[in-house]
Each structure stands twice: as C-alpha cells, then as structure tokens.
Structure 1
Amino acid sequence: MDSKKEQLLALIRDNPFIGQQDLAERLGLSRSAVAGHIASLTRERRLLGRAYVLPQRAPIVCIGGSNLDRKLRTLAPLQMGTSNPVSQRETPGGVARNVAENLARLGLPVHLLSAVGDDPAGRELLAHAARLGIATSGSLQAADAATGSYTAVLDADGAMLLALAQMALTERLTPDFLRLTSAQRASASLTVIDLNLPADSVAQLISEAAADTRPLVVVAVSVPKMARLPQDLSGVHCLLLNEGELAALCGGKPLSNPSALRRAHRQLRERGLQQLVVTQGAAGVLYSDGDALLALPAPSVPVLDVTGAGDAFSAGVCASLYQDPLDLALACRRGLALSALTLQTEATVHPDLGPELLQSIH
C-alpha cells in the first residue's frame, strides 16, 4: 500500500479542511500528485466528495427486518408431538436490526430503516435503538399490524432445532417506502440490506447501487428468500450467505465438493457480483479473491447459544468494509471474531462490544 497516500489520509483525518497545497508541502509532493492520491482515495470510498468527508462521518444504513426474538431452550431431549419443558429468553432481533446493533456497539454511526408495529414490542425496539444511538427516522410504525417475531427452539447445548419467523411487516418495505426514505439513504457511506425485503425493493436497491459508487452489502436470511435476488447482481459489492443459500441461488443442487463451490462462485461473478462470502458454520468461511475462493477457519470456542452469531459475523464484515471496502480477508477475520464472541453469550448481540475490537484484529 502506498505510504504517501496513507500519510495523506492521516493528515486529512486530523484536519478535514486542509488544502491540497498544504498537503503537498507537508508530504513533499507536487500538488498534482496530491490530487491523484485524493482521486484514488475517493474511488476507493475512503474519502467522500470534495470536502474530504471521511466515510467514518457518514452512516451505515441498514434496511430490513426488526422483530422480537424468543429463544426457547429445551431442558431435556426434544420429543415431538408432546409438551417439552423449556427455559425462555426474549431479546430484540431481526437480521438488519441485529447487524445495526452490532455496528452501533462497535462505535459506528448507524441508521436503521425497518418496520415495526405500533405496539409494546415495536415501541420498545425503537426505544432500544435510540438508547444505542441508532437513528430510526423514516422507519415504518404500523398501527394495523403486530411487530414481527422470531422464535428459536434450541437444544440444551444451544444448537438450533427449529425456528419460526413471522416477518409479514417487512413486506411493507416496498419501493414506495424506499422513495419516501431517499433522504435518509442518500447519506449512506455503506448500505446493508437483508433479504426479508420484497423482491422489487431488493432489485431497486441493487439497480441504484450499480449506478452509484457507494457499496451495497446483501445479507441472506433463508433458503426460500434467495429467490428475491434478481439475475443481475452487478450492483452488489458483497453477498453474505451460507452453503444452502448459495446452492438455492445457483440452481438448487447441493454443493457437495470444492469444485461445485467454485462453479457457483464463477456463476455469480458472471452475473456481476463483486465479492462473495460463504459461511460454513464451525468450519469457517470461504471468501472471494478475484476468481478464487479462499478459506478461513473459525475460532474454536465453547458455544452457549447460536442465535445471532451469523448476524454478528455479517456486522463484523460490514464494519470492516466500511473502513476498507477492498480488504475482504480482513473483513472476514473480523466477522469470525465477532461471531465467536456472540456464540459465547445468550444475548443475540454481545453486550460488551466496543470500538477497540475492530482495531485489535489485523
């Protein structure tokens, strides 16, 4: 990496109003060389616009589901067709909302655009976001529908046995909703969407991103909802999914070996996708490096509860891409570290995250 360019970026961080001539004198460069470095940093989204607005000053906009998570942990082996004793815990949930909370706890500016009911659960979700510093202006609060819910049945070891999602409200995040929230979305340095969104909204956001320079990250939520992605993925900077979701996206056949995974990756590259991350549970992740798929192992940690670990991984990746959209390997390392922490708590989002976590992972 060019050391002069990094020095220039550091000077701008210290004084965003610094002029090009001052930069040139401090760095021992010509003014044209400084202009070249600034143009390069702007293309990389490490600077935004003529006023040297740093990406750290613009929010990550998360669009998608918010709901109440109910976690039921069995106290004995599950028996179908009869009553089972369980313990219960309720926490805020929803993929986009979970990603937003992780990002906020990491110290990043976040704006969440979602839909909740005008009921106790919905009001608490909005209040919880406000306490974390997450902006929610523009989010839909429906008077005629209940806030969504996600119920996970876990075994005694914290592994998921069954999950039930009631996410009908996210169907109201239509292109008309996107039009009404265009002002909130215009300020985004990075946009993150989940596939709870209707297919026409997903297509619109991808089309907008293809015509823009701001990165768009798409987070899968389930195999059935992979059908919400359009054929043209040229506006997607990074797609995060698991092997089952990748198989559904690429024809439906199981991806039973590395060559099948590579073929699926090539297929998505041909559809315009820039970066791909495939999660493999305890085995780690695969991530794209040009035409290649590289592997990273997951840290081995004791598992208390799997709920939220995937969203934590997505948040770690997004937080890192917000700082450097080109370093996907670092983003995956940070995502794995955040996921490992979340696996060790019963909370959907680890309550003790802080800005220092990202900087500690290189």
Structure 2
Amino acid sequence: MSDVTILAPSPTLTVTVEDHPQGSEIHVHAGGQGVWQARMLRRLDVPVTMCCVLSGEIGRMLQHLLEDEGITVVAVEREGRGSAYVHDRRQGKRIVIAEEEGDPIDRHARDDLYGAVLHTGAESKAVLLSGPAGDSTVPADLYRRLTLDLRNEERPVIADLAGDRMRAVVEGGIDVLKVSHEELRSDGLVSDASVPDLARAMRRLREQGAGAVIVTRSSEPLLLLDEHGLIEVSLPRFEENEARGAGDSLTAGVVAALTRSETLRDALSLGAAAGALNVTRHGLGTGDPDAIAGLRESVQVREIALSDADAGMPQGRVSPDGLAALAETEES
C-alpha cells in the first residue's frame, strides 16, 4: 500500500537535448504534472502509486522509467500514440522540436482507470488528482465523479487543476484545491494578482464546494483560504533556473506533510520550501530533502485580515440552500 495515490491520466515521455563539453547530451525521462508530483513525493520518502494510461511504444518505455524512480505503477495499457516531447536546451532556452499530446483515452480505458484510482485510493492516506497531457485526453466530468466517490473524512483528496477540470472537482467537493493566479486569470475569475481580487475568487470557490484553496503567485507569496481565514506564505527568492515543475513540487510537499498528519497550514511550509528549491534546478520535481527541510525553517506565515467588502471570509462549505440565499441577497 502506498501513502499517496496519484491520478496521472497520460504521463509524458520527455527527451531533452543539453549542451555538453564534448557535444550534446540527451536526457530521456518520464514527465508531466503527475510524474513531477510523484518524483518530489519520492524525494520526501513518501510511497506513491500512480494510476495512468500507457499507450503503445511510448507507454512501455514510460513504465520502466517510472518504476526505476521507485514509483508503483498501476497502468491501463493500450495501443496508440502516447504523450511525448523533444526539446532542445543547448542554447539555454527551451526550443520545442516536437510535442505530442497522444490519443484521447477511450471509454473502456477510462472505466479501467477510474476503477484503478478508486481501488488504490481506498488504501492510501491521500489522493492527488493531476491533469492530463491535453485538454481532449479525458473529459472533465471524470474528475467530478472521482472527487465525489473518493471523499472520506480520514483521506483528503487534493487537486492541482485549472479550467473545466478545476470547476469539476470544486463541484464534487474537493478537500484542497491548488491553482495559480495565472490560471485563475485565464479562467476569467480574477483581473489581476492583487490579494483582494484573489481572495474574492478564493471565497467563491469555497462557496461552490472547495474545502480550502491554495493560490500560487509566481515569485510572490502564496495564499491559503480555509475555514479559519486567509494566510500568506512566503520564502526567500532564488535565481530562477527552471520555473516549470515548481507548483507541482509545492503540491507534492503539501501532500507529503498531510500524510504525516500535519495540518494544512503547517503542510504549506513544506510545500513552499519544495517549490522554492525546485526553481533553482534543471530537473523537474527534484530537490534534496535535507535542503528542503532547511528552507522550511525560513518560511514566513502571516494572517491577512480583509474587510467584508474586500473578501467576506466564509466560515465553511456552503450548502445549495446557502448558495441560493447568497444569490438572492446579491440580487436584492
């Protein structure tokens, strides 16, 4: 049994060309959101099971790469095109040579994947729902149904999603939602990255069903809104080497702490440290656990008190009747 079950519908085979004194160096790894989260969890010594669909030749390669990293893989195998990319980073910047999202996951494979998550998740301390390689890979409603079916007071369900998939898990009543301010802006939920604007959006997400909402703001302090109110979490800034994967490392750090019975507010300090260290590295979802533990000591947390006009802090999940009452109040 693993402490964490991750839904990672379509892992990506990554091929990256790096500069080398004797020519070029080619790196082949498993990648994608769920993989980067799983990799950081393993760095933090948390056993992980990944439920995924592995397609064709790419899928067979991914299975070996994932297992070599100590990740338990529960795979639905099928023929077809898997997700993959080839990037050239020899000049210091990522140049896309080729990218492929892979074939959409058909109904039969989705049913098998759904069953795998329910089965393994029932034995885990936490379940993490991550996104697929492409928008058309799986329907968003799969996430809503999984959120409903996985809910258990003793096993938190965490989602790191945006767009239709974010709205789906919120409707399902997700325990913890992590999203970036850029994603909220893309979804039309905020107009800027100001704390009052973000707090209002976070409040709406809680009213609609999310238990707690974490919003990252690039290099700015992240925010958490829960039943106790709003807090800001900050760390020293580092020279950025690779921004991708930092948010996934943050999510993984939070989940790792939750499996050790820490409160969400305490868990954020581990997540913030893991995310901050990741931006200094080439490898996505990587970081030395001792360095992360040391950084955690420098995390700063402060309460933010906003007026009712700015944010109107909720005191818990709001029922459908409560939402109707709020709508009537706003109309009047």
TM-score (norm 2): 0.73
Q: CA deviation at 1:358?
A: 4.7
Matching of residues 290-305 of structure 1 within 5 Å: 290=227, 292-305=229-242
Matching of residues 185-200 of structure 1 within 5 Å: 185-196=121-132, 197-200=138-141
User: What secondary structure, in the 3-state scheme, does the structure 1 residue paired with 2:283 have?
Assistant: coil
Comparing 151-160 with 302-311, which one deviates more in the overlay? Answer: 151-160
Matching of residues 300-311 of structure 1 within 5 Å: 300-311=237-248
Q: Does 1:207 align with 2:153?
A: no
| Residue identity matched to 2:141 | D
Matching of residues 123-142 of structure 1 within 5 Å: 123-137=60-74, 139-142=75-78
Alpha-carbon displacement from aligned partner over 1:153-198 (angstroms, at most 9, x marks no partner):
8796658999966154556662443125543232111000113253
Report how many residues are paired: 286
User: What secondary structure, in the 3-state scheme, does the structure 2 residue paired with 1:329 have?
Assistant: helix
Structure 2 residue aligned with 1:237:
175
Relative distance call for 1:87 and 1:129 in structure 2 (3 A) is: closer
Structure 1 residue aligned with 2:210:
273
Looking at structure 2, the residues matched to 237 and 298 of structure 1 have their Cα atoms a distance apart, in angstroms, of 25
Relative distance call for 1:157 and 1:175 in structure 2 (3 A) is: same
Q: Does 1:336 align with 2:272?
A: yes
Structure 2 residue aligned with 1:218:
159
Assess if the C-alpha contact under 8 Å between 2:55 and 2:77 holds in 1: yes
Match of 2:7 among 56, 63, 66: 63
Q: Does 1:148 align with 2:115?
A: no
Looking at structure 2, the residues matched to 177 and 152 of structure 1 have their Cα atoms a distance apart, in angstroms, of 29
Match of 2:46 among 96, 100, 108: 108
Relative distance call for 1:271 and 1:308 in structure 2 (3 A) is: same
Relative distance call for 1:186 and 1:331 in structure 2 (3 A) is: same
User: What secondary structure, in the 3-state scheme, does the structure 1 residue paired with 2:296 have?
Assistant: coil
User: What secondary structure, in the 3-state scheme, does the structure 1 residue paired with 2:124 have?
Assistant: coil
| Residue identity matched to 2:83 | G
Matching of residues 89-104 of structure 1 within 5 Å: 89-104=27-42
Looking at structure 2, the residues matched to 276 and 151 of structure 1 have their Cα atoms a distance apart, in angstroms, of 34
User: What secondary structure, in the 3-state scheme, does the structure 1 residue paired with 2:239 have?
Assistant: coil
TM-score (norm 1): 0.67
Relative distance call for 1:274 and 1:230 in structure 2 (3 A) is: closer
| Residue identity matched to 1:106 | L
Q: CA deviation at 1:216?
A: 0.3
Q: CA deviation at 1:134?
A: 1.4
- Structure 1 unaligned runs (5+)? 1-56, 75-85
Assess if the C-alpha contact under 8 Å between 1:202 and 1:228 holds in 2: no
Match of 1:166 among 88, 95, 101: 101
Q: CA deviation at 1:357?
A: 4.3
Q: CA deviation at 1:361?
A: 3.2
Looking at structure 1, the residues matched to 172 and 116 of structure 2 have their Cα atoms a distance apart, in angstroms, of 24
| Residue identity matched to 1:184 | T
Structure 2 residue aligned with 1:83:
none
Q: Does 1:263 align with 2:200?
A: yes
Relative distance call for 1:157 and 1:329 in structure 2 (3 A) is: farther
Alpha-carbon displacement from aligned partner over 1:268-295 (angstroms, at most 9, x marks no partner):
1111211111111111311124253221
Relative distance call for 1:323 and 1:168 in structure 2 (3 A) is: farther
Alpha-carbon displacement from aligned partner over 1:283-342 (angstroms, at most 9, x marks no partner):
13111242532212243112222232221111111111221352x233222122212222
Larger Rg over CA atoms: 1
Looking at structure 2, the residues matched to 349 and 256 of structure 1 have their Cα atoms a distance apart, in angstroms, of 25
User: What secondary structure, in the 3-state scheme, does the structure 1 residue paired with 2:171 have?
Assistant: coil
Q: Does 1:288 align with 2:192?
A: no
Alpha-carbon displacement from aligned partner over 1:95-130 (angstroms, at most 9, x marks no partner):
1121112111221111000122231x3223211222
Assess if the C-alpha contact under 8 Å between 1:149 and 1:167 holds in 2: yes
Structure 2 residue aligned with 1:21:
none
Looking at structure 1, the residues matched to 2 and 283 of structure 2 have their Cα atoms a distance apart, in angstroms, of 28
Assess if the C-alpha contact under 8 Å between 1:111 and 1:134 holds in 2: yes
